[in-house]
Amino acid sequence: MLDRVGNPHPDTRYLARFTFPEFTVMCPVTGQPDFATLVIDYVPKAWLVESKSLKLYLNSFRNHGAFHEQCTVAIGKKLNALLEPKWLRIGGYFHPRGGMPIDVFWQAGKLPAGVWVPDQGVRTYRARG
């Protein structure tokens, strides 16, 4: 269950970022775990996501079978519906399994002018060498 709290600065445009480097979801075909780093950026209006509820929600995927695209987009949509932010994006950077990494990106809203959004800082997969 995701919870939200009131934004103490609703009159200020700023970016909030959550980085979750230990996201795990079960492959619905093989039952094997898939690992990813999730980066969630949003520009809040009236609401902020309560961080402990977000951590517990993201950890609940460990026993859930879903494809990378399915869970990344679903998380983004759920946060967008709960928070109604000015702008939200989620990047799912999945570790390769079977030789192919899959990165999934979703966003909603329009980034307000003047908001600094740094790179998500997750390196794409590089083979050894």
> Is there a catalytic annotation at residue 41?
no
Kindly give, in sequence order, each residue whose CB lies less than 8 Å from that of residue 11, ignoring residues fewer than 6 positions away.
Answer: none
**CA 72: distance to chain centroid?**
7
> Is there a catalytic annotation at residue 34?
yes
Over residues 11-58, the pLDDT tens digits come to: 999 999 999 999 999 999 999 999 999 999 999 999 999 999 999 999
The conformational region for residue 83 under phi > 0 = left, psi -120 to 50 = alpha, else beta, is alpha
Active-site position among 3, 11, 27, 41: 27
**Rounded distance between C-alpha atoms, residue 95 and residue 13, angstroms:** 33
Over residues 79-104, the pLDDT tens digits come to: 999 999 999 999 999 998 878 889 99
Q: Give pTM, 2 decimals.
A: 0.93
pLDDT at 33: 93
Q: Answer whether residue 128 shows pLDDT above 60.
A: no
Mean pLDDT of 95-124: 91
pLDDT at 111: 97
Q: Which backbone phi and psi does 77 adopt, to 5 degrees?
A: -65, -40
Q: Answer whether residue 2 shows pLDDT above 80.
A: yes
Q: Which backbone phi and psi does 117 adopt, to 5 degrees?
A: -120, 105
Task: List the beta bridge partners of residue 49.
Answer: 4
Active-site position among 3, 11, 34, 71: 34
Over residues 56-72, the pLDDT tens digits come to: 999 999 999 999 999 99
**Rounded distance between C-alpha atoms, residue 67 and residue 51, angstroms:** 24
pLDDT at 7: 98
Q: Quick check: helix, strand or coil at residue 73? A: helix
> Is residue 56 a contact partner of residue 75, using CB atoms and an 8 Å limit?
no
pLDDT at 127: 61
